[in-house]
Amino acid sequence: MTDLTSISLKKILLPILFLCLFSVPGFSQQTPPKQKSEFWRHVRFGGGIGLGFGDGFFSGTLAPSAIYEFNWQFALGVGLNFSYNTQKDFYKSTIVGGSLIGLFRPIEQIQLSAEFEEMNISRNYDSRLIYKDDNYWYPALYLGAGYSTHNVTIGIRYDVLYDRDKSIYADPWAPFVRVYF
């Protein structure tokens, strides 16, 4: 009778022990996901990447940015900008800067913007005709308007502080595409 009892106990206790050992780690993995704080629920990240190539020419830009949406109409954000341009045997420039941007949507599809950008520009001309080094700070204040669909806005902006001799752009008008996730 002891043999039958020990065999029955083994048949009952071993599966229960097996279930307990392997089910506890399985249940411990089912903790609820951590919730984002209220602040991070309103933060959106975006930015721009630009590459340009040509005959002896290269241009690269990296410009990350983030905004905080106070509500569906108002947002405020910051951005960084790094650009490098070179034209073989003629020109090199490095541009590093930052920006503050304010966004306003009077209706869901229209986005108005004001962006202040401060950039340090280092330009070196090295050709047979021109040899000049420039290193200066350049402010820009862009006022813009665009058409929005969800997280993408396409529009145009105008630099009200535009200076033809110091700006890195040929014109105060500039098209833009903004994407925030």
Q: Are 75 and 103 in contact (CB under 8 A)?
A: yes
* pLDDT at res. 14: 55
Adjacent-strand bridge partners of 176: 155
- The yes-or-no verdict on residue 16 having pLDDT over 70 is no
Question: Residue 122 is inside which H or E element, if any?
Answer: strand 110-126
Q: How many CA atoms lie within 13 A of 95 on its CB side?
A: 23
Q: Distance between CA atoms of 50 and 81, rounded to whole angstroms?
A: 11
Q: Of 100, 38, 110, 102, which Cα lies nearest the Cα of 75? A: 102
Dihedral of CA 35/37/39/45: which sign? negative
Range in 6-15, 54-63, 98-107, 110-119 with the lowest mean pLDDT: 6-15
Full strand arrangement of the beta sheet holding 173-179 = 43-54, 57-69, 74-87, 91-107, 110-126, 131-149, 152-159, 173-179
Q: Give the pLDDT confidence of 134-176 residue by residue, as tens digits.
A: 899 999 999 999 999 988 999 999 999 999 988 888 899 999 9
What single-letter DSSP state applies at residue 90?
Answer: T
End-to-end CA, the chain: 71
pTM over 0.85: no
Query: Tokens in use for 128?
Result: 């047979």
* pLDDT at res. 27: 46
